[in-house]
Amino acid sequence: MEETKERKIVVAVDESEESMEALSWSLDNLFPYGSNNTLILLYVKPPLPVYSSIDAAGFIVTGDPVAALKKYEHELVESVMARSRTVYQDFESDINIERRVGRGDAKEVICNAVQKLKADMLVIGTHDYGFFKRTLLGSVSEYCAKRVKCPVIIVKKKNPQNN
């Protein structure tokens, strides 16, 4: 029997239902029983803002806002990975799962990670914004689809009215 090449499939995850939908879709459609694929969960933390020790009113800020932000970020990463775990826990024994965390502009970090990891595929959810919101905010999924060298699957959230 011919052995299939291992594929690295990156799934971008965040706090959104859309990213969990993309993860669930990936497991159902890209990881058949006994598959030789690696699932790489990629979470991107936003860049750290620059803080001053003096607030807008001119008072010196007590405490350490950077330490508080880092603690919050750590909790957020743990929360996203825990949510992801609830989606993939039934599959975990059958597939290799790696967890990666990046920092910066999500679209840039995702594109760079896909290239660095030599991923065979990127799966990403979409918020399915309308034209104006997409124009103002930009679409991470569209940006990545245009720039990465591997196939990109954009998973839309299921619409309960159409099921």
Give the pLDDT of residue 4: 63
Give the pLDDT of residue 50: 60
Residues 155, 162: contact at Cβ < 8 Å? no
What does pTM read for this prediction?
A: 0.80
pLDDT at 157 over 90: no
3-state secondary structure string across 66-90: HHHHHHHHHHHHHHHHHHHHHHHCC
Alpha helices in the chain (DSSP H): 17-30, 65-88, 106-116, 131-137, 140-147
**Among the four given CATH numbers 3.30.465.10, 3.40.50.620, 1.10.357.10, 3.30.565.10, the one describing domain 7-162:** 3.40.50.620
How buried is residue 82: exposed, middle or buried, by Cβ count under 10 Å (0-12/13-18/19+)? Answer: exposed
Q: Where do the domains of the chain lie?
A: 7-162
Highest mean pLDDT out of 20-24, 73-77, 133-137: 20-24
Pick the residue with more confidence: 158 or 105? Answer: 105
Give the pLDDT of residue 1: 46
